[in-house]
Amino acid sequence: MLIRRFTLTKALLVATIVLAVDGPAAAGGSGEPVPGYGGRATAAGAAAPPIGGLPPPPPVALPLPSERLAQPILLSDCPGLRIVEWRPSKDFSYTAPSDEGQKVIAKACKTAFARYPEFLRSKNMQFRKEAFSVSVSMIPANNIGDGKDPRNMNDVDGRMRVTQPNCCSWGIFDAPLSFLFLRNDPINFSAGKNVPNKYFVRTFLHELAHIFNSKWHVKEVYFPYTMSADEELAEDWIEYLGIKYKTESSSEDWTWKKNQ
């Protein structure tokens, strides 16, 4: 239903997803996870047209200078991506910036950059690969455990309201802002040690598909290209990689974390 609120072009602007649907069903009413389409009133994210020559207000979802890392994190296996914010969940110190977490991200990136072209070719889809720049905010995303505190991923009534009007997502790629909002837990804690979080990896790989589809012009080649088609392609990509497990719910994630 949301998609009808916008023109087709605007509907294509924000690719979101990977849901932790525990609260109200984001859409569809089936109770099953569904794509959390991010409706955007304007392409600049809450930025109204200039009035009286004044510049538009900044997109509210972007991190403030005080929220940004002192130095962005650049990863050699993730050309074009830079982590500009990484805020841990208050109860889990292992969700803070770490070398272990960066390695998980870099490994997933390496896989995606190496294999996404072959995936598109396997589907006889055309694309035009080129360099891009995407900033990444890694923020608390579990709407149960982290709550809807200001500027958490599911702060649907607050600063995330433009990018993320409907709870609940683990990741959102905002194409107009060239910005990825992503869960903060590449590392989980299990049996007394830090381990890669396979659910984070799934989320991240899924979001990378949205990024590639946008930046490598897949959408233009296949115009008109719907958000549901983009979502389907991202999930086909996950299947192509042999990932069998589904996205976990917020309650599953929270139950698992608090029992460690």
Binding residues (CB under 5 A) for Zn ion: these are 17, 231, 234
Query: Cβ 231 to Zn ion, closest distance in Å?
Result: 5
Nearer to Zn ion by Cβ, of 14 and 17: the residue is: 17
Query: Cβ 55 to Zn ion, closest distance in Å?
Result: 32
Dist. CA 141–CA 172, nearest whole Å? 11
Dist. CA 245–CA 229, nearest whole Å? 21
Nearer to Zn ion by Cβ, of 159 and 206: the residue is: 206
Distances (CA, A) of 174 to 57, 86, 195, 247: 17, 17, 29, 20
Query: Cβ 34 to Zn ion, closest distance in Å?
Result: 10
First to last CA, the chain: 39
Dist. CA 153–CA 248, nearest whole Å? 16
Query: Cβ 147 to Zn ion, closest distance in Å?
Result: 23
Dist. CA 199–CA 69, nearest whole Å? 24
Nearer to Zn ion by Cβ, of 160 and 234: the residue is: 234
Nearer to Zn ion by Cβ, of 35 and 88: the residue is: 35
Query: Cβ 49 to Zn ion, closest distance in Å?
Result: 29
Dist. CA 125–CA 120, nearest whole Å? 5
- Per DSSP bridges, beta strands 73-74 and 81-86 are antiparallel
Nearer to Zn ion by Cβ, of 94 and 231: the residue is: 231
Residue whose beta carbon is closest to Zn ion: 17
